[in-house]
Amino acid sequence: MSRALLIHDCPPGMTIQDLGRPGYLAYGLSRGGAADRLAIAEGAALLGQPDMAAAVEMAGTGGTFEATEDIRVALTGAPMLAQIDGTNIAWNASHALPKGARLSIGAATSGTYGYLHVGGGIEAPLLLGARGAHLAAVIGARLSRGDRLAVGVDPGTSTGVKVDAMPRFDGGPVRILPSFQTSFFAPAEIGRFEASTFRRDSRGNRMGVKLLSDGPGFQSAARLSVLSEVIVPGDIQITGDGTPFVLLAECRTTGGYPRIGSVLPVDLPIVAQAPPGTAFQFQYVSLEEAVAIERDASQRNQTLGQSLSSLVRDPRTMPDLLSFNLIGGVVAGAEDLE
């Protein structure tokens, strides 16, 4: 019997995701893939495997899983409460999941999308070069209770390491590039857009999110006369009433709303991960700055495996050992036994 992960409990919005299907815009298919691509890279680093391995994407809350054989798992993205057979385990870390053990993942404590990775990857059908679901294009489907997820061959064995996740779950500054239609907006409107604080609306999905602000809507000279043209994840469209929408992984491939800017790929997880009500501020950067920022991010992702640390620290290698209240822990433990 092949290695697999059994789903015993599965809320809505859980799918298999990877880095998506680039190269099909001309055929009407957007890239898709994980809402938080950085989480895919972090999971790959924790398990020492290529970042094209498919994982389980969990929207808002997780589920209950059981391993049919001993497997390795890693948890990244929006932090969620997690346990193996009732014992709490760390997020942004790798763990051993023994045969028959149950992994329970609860609600997100911050952010929106959490990811469950397995050593060897989830072996969903390979369609157009990827395994992830693209719900808008009716490729794949949401996961459900009772599903059996095949797990690929895992050449690795190590677990018990953690990664320092990049902060991206609390909103804040988001860097953007001018778009082809940014010039359709008057300089005063562009300045007001950059100076405004936006909040994520409750309406949003893997296609895009609506943003709200306290001021009036943002108007362009073109209004709704823009011809439909190619759009990509990160584009910020301004609708007829002046409301911004940030496009995400499963956005359409063409659109006619004017775009006031486009979020840098490295900052798009900040928008995707934000729960309703989270605040953002947009900051324009030049093309040269954007290229440098993306180059640095790419290099950081490629070296994530070199920055891992052990979950359990060896006292012999702890130069700050004396800063730990070891006696207090012993006393507290003794009191618990009384």
* 268 three-class SS: helix
Phi, psi of 42 (to 5 degrees): -65, -40
β-pair type (279-284, 172-177): parallel
For residue 126, pLDDT over 90 is answered with yes
% pLDDT > 70, the chain: 91
C-beta of residue 308 within 8 angstroms of C-beta of residue 46: yes
Distance from the Cα of residue 15 to its chain's centroid: 13
CA pair distance 32, 199, nearest whole angstrom: 24
Residue 271, CA distances (Å) to 15, 245, 285 in order: 19, 11, 17
pLDDT given for residue 298 in this prediction: 93
Query: Considering only CA atoms, which of 190, 191, 173, 179 is closest in space to residue 274?
Result: 173
Distances in Å between the Cα of 116 and the Cα atoms of 27, 44, 244 are 31, 11, 31
The C-alpha atoms of residue 139 and residue 36 are separated, in whole angstroms, by 19
Is residue 9 within 8 Å of residue 63, measured between CB atoms? yes
Q: Cα angle at 122 between 231 and 77, to 5 degrees?
A: 60
Calpha distance 238→254 (Å, rounded): 14
- Neighbouring residues of 338: CB distance < 8 A, sequence distance ≥ 6: none
pLDDT at 266: 96
Across the chain, mean pLDDT equals 89
Torsion region of 91: left, alpha or beta (phi above 0 gives left; psi -120 to 50 gives alpha) = beta
Predicted confidence at residue 338, as pLDDT, reads 47
pLDDT of amino acid 336: 43
Summarised one tens digit per residue, pLDDT across range 149-194 is 999 999 889 999 999 999 999 899 999 999 888 999 999 999 999 9
Q: What is the pLDDT of residues 213-246, one digit of tens each?
A: 988 889 887 666 667 788 899 999 998 889 999 9
Q: How many residues does the chain have?
A: 338
> Tokens standing for 152?
């690929």
Tokens of 299: 């290099």
At residue 223, the pLDDT reads: 63
Nearest to 13 by CA among 269, 248, 205, 211: 205
DSSP 274-325: PPTT-EEEEEE--HHHHHHHHHHHHHHHHTGGGG-EESS--GGG-TTGGGS-
For residues 207 and 237, is the Cβ–Cβ distance under 8 A?
no
Say how far apart CA 119 and CA 103 lie, in whole Å: 15
Residue 69 pLDDT > 50, yes or no?
yes
d(CA 290, CA 258): 21
Helix, strand, or coil here: 188? Answer: helix
pLDDT, one tens digit per residue, over 298-315 is 999 989 988 899 987 545
